[in-house]
Structures are given as C-alpha cells and as structure tokens.
C-alpha cells in the first residue's frame, strides 16, 4: 500500500482548507493511506474526516512518525524543523511549495507565490496535490465534498425557526465587525424574518458573548456552551442554518460542513475574501471585505447586507 504523510500542523482554518486536496488524493489513489501531522488541539480530525486515515500530533519532534516508512510526504505548511526531519527520514519524494530557505529540504517543489493571493488557499493546496499525482504517474481524479462525516441533525429538528450562528470574536487573529455591528445585523435580519440566534465562541470570549446577549432582550438569542473538543464543535456548528463570522477557524469548520456562510474579511492583500474563501458550495457563501475606514474593526455597508443575506441565503 502507498503511504503518504501530509503536514498541516498550525491553525484550524488552514487544516480545513487542505480537505479538498486530500479528497483528490483519495479519489485518485483509492488504496492510499493518508496520515496527517496536526496541532494537538485537532487530533480528532481523523474521526471527522472522510479522507484521513491516521493522525499524529506535533509535539516538536517527528521521529516516531518518520519511522513509518512513507512513500511520499506533502507539506502544506512547513517549518525548518519539519523540513529537516522529513529530509533526515529520507522520504524519497518530499513535496512542498517553494518557500524561502526551507525548500532546501524538499526535492519536489512548485512555485506558487501564495502571497499574491491570486486564488483561494484551498486551490493552491489542490494544485500542489495535482503536481504530486502527475509527477508520480497517477491520473488526477477531481472530487468534491462531503469532506466531513457527521450526522445531519437539521433533518430531525422540530424548531420552525432557522438557526443563525454568530461568531463575533476572532481571538485576535484578524479584524472583524464590532459588537455593535453584529448586533445591528441580527436586529435587521430579525426584522425580515424571526430567527433563533446563537452566539458561538470559545471559553475566552464567553463572558463577552453573555454581555452581548443581554443587550438585545428583544431577540431570541442564546450563547453556546464553549468546548475544547473538536468533535463537539463540529456537532454544534452542524446545527445551524447559517454561520456568520469574521475570517476565523470556526468559519472554515462551517464551510467544511457545507453550511451557508457569511464572512467578513480585512482589506489586506494576504487576507482577502478570495484567498481565504471557505470550501462550501459557492452558492452557499457570501463574503464582504473591509472598507478600510477603521483601524480596529471591519467596516462595511451595513444598510444593504441584511437584505442581501436574506434574499440569497435565507429565503
């Protein structure tokens, strides 16, 4: 059996964006074993993914992993240490984007210029996988989702109201709307139709979400119970009809579940709505970019987007 080690051991959103690439590998080489090196917080991704066979947690050393005798490795993300360990393990075919000095450790690289943000990140990942397949004589079999195996609880729900998840904070990883603008958006949507709103957050933002909830007693709104369990997070997000957020990990979780999403992006070239597009169907997503008029928060034309969201995703 062919065995491949894939590496994406940084953030949750980035991990979600390699799922289409892994689907292409599995579709093109059905009997291949895909092992994935991930951050310790996301070790349960193999339980959820249709295409990851085994997971190894990055604990700062790849020695145990590299004793597995892999035919190939693909580094969707690489540090100097990872590149060195893959080279030291003498994996015959080591694939990665050509990126600065670390590419020295890889013998199979392609120039992608990801920083130019000319296409979605997941498409850069797909291109890297296509290069790997063609280079080894495999026919490329394109594939679409589903990427995640999870029960669809919406089919069993009796609640007549549609459920909208709002993820108002990003943990400092990126700008997002202000609390006031998120609240205004909820009020404007609720005027168009009555919805159940859930404020989604991690434990560090839970108290802030409680304060937000108390500001709008006129809405049917609750705060999620935060969880550190990846499978529970997926199960929670799987309950929603629409997920609204800045560019953050849970947004990409919603995308991997093919939920309808509304995303707000900074205006920086490295953070555009094109570069960090979600992997749900294009018909299931709306994206808005910052006007750049505020240093702290994303500012957009709030007057029009509630109607746009309603007409395109909720009607």
The domain segmentation of the chain, as residue ranges, is 3-135, 153-314
pLDDT at 157: 57
Within 13 Å, how many C-alpha atoms sit on residue 201's CB side? 21
Could you tell me what percent of the chain has a pLDDT over 90? 76
Within 13 Å, how many C-alpha atoms sit on residue 251's CB side? 28
Three-state SS across 1-13? Answer: CCEEEEECCCCHH
Beta strands in 188-308 (DSSP E): 196-199, 221-223, 242-246, 260-265, 285-289
pLDDT at 64: 61
Q: Whole-prediction pTM value?
A: 0.94
The CATH label, of 2.60.40.2580, 3.40.50.2000, 3.40.640.10, 3.40.50.1370, for the domain at 153-314 is: 3.40.50.2000
> Which residue reads 């560019």 in tokens?
247
Q: Report residues of the chain scoring pLDDT below 50.
A: none
Residue 38: enclosing H or E segment and its boundaries?
strand 33-38
* CA dihedral over 213, 214, 218, 223, signed as positive or negative: positive
pLDDT at 156: 52
pLDDT at 273: 94
Q: 117: alpha, beta or left, given left = phi > 0 and alpha = psi -120 to 50?
A: left
Residues 6 or more apart whose CB falls under 8 angstroms from that of 123 comprise none
Q: What CATH code would you report for 3-135?
A: 3.40.50.2000
pLDDT at 284: 98
pLDDT in tens, 159-201: 689 999 999 998 766 789 999 999 999 999 999 999 999 999 9
pLDDT at 4: 96
pLDDT at 278: 98
Whether 18 and 48 have beta carbons less than 8 Å apart is answered as no
Q: List 289's β-bridge partners, or say none.
A: 265
Q: Do domains 3-135 and 153-314 have the same CATH topology?
A: yes
């Amino acid at each position: 059996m062919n065995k491949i080690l894939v590496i994406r051991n940084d953030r949750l959103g980035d991990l979600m964006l390699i799922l289409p690439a892994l689907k292409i590998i599995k579709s093109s080489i059905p009997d291949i074993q895909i092992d994935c090196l991930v951050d310790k917080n996301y070790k349960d991704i193999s339980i959820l993914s249709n295409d990851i066979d085994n997971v190894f947690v990055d604990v700062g050393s790849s020695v145990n992993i590299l004793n597995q005798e892999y035919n190939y490795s693909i580094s969707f993300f690489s540090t100097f240490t990872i590149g060195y360990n893959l080279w030291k393990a003498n994996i015959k075919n080591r694939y990665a984007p050509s990126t600065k000095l670390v590419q020295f450790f890889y013998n199979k690289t392609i120039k992608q210029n990801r920083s130019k943000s000319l296409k979605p990140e997941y498409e850069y990942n797909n291109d890297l996988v296509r290069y790997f397949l063609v280079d080894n004589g495999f026919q490329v079999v394109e594939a679409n989702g589903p990427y995640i195996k999870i029960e669809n609880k919406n089919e069993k729900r009796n609640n007549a109201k549609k459920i909208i998840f709002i993820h108002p904070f990003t943990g400092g990883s990126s700008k997002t709307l202000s609390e006031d603008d998120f609240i205004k958006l909820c009020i404007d949507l609720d005027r168009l139709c009555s919805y159940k709103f859930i404020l989604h957050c991690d434990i560090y933002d839970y108290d802030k979400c409680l304060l937000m909830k108390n500001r709008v007693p006129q809405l049917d709104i609750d705060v999620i119970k935060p969880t550190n369990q990846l499978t529970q997070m997926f199960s929670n997000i799987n309950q929603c009809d629409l997920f609204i957020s800045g560019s953050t990990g849970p947004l990409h979780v919603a995308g991997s579940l093919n939920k309808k999403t509304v995303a707000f992006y900074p205006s920086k070239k490295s953070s555009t709505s094109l570069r960090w597009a979600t992997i749900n169907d294009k018909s299931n997503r709306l994206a808005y970019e910052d006007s750049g008029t505020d240093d702290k928060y994303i500012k957009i034309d709030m007057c029009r987007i509630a109607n746009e969201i309603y007409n395109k995703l909720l009607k």
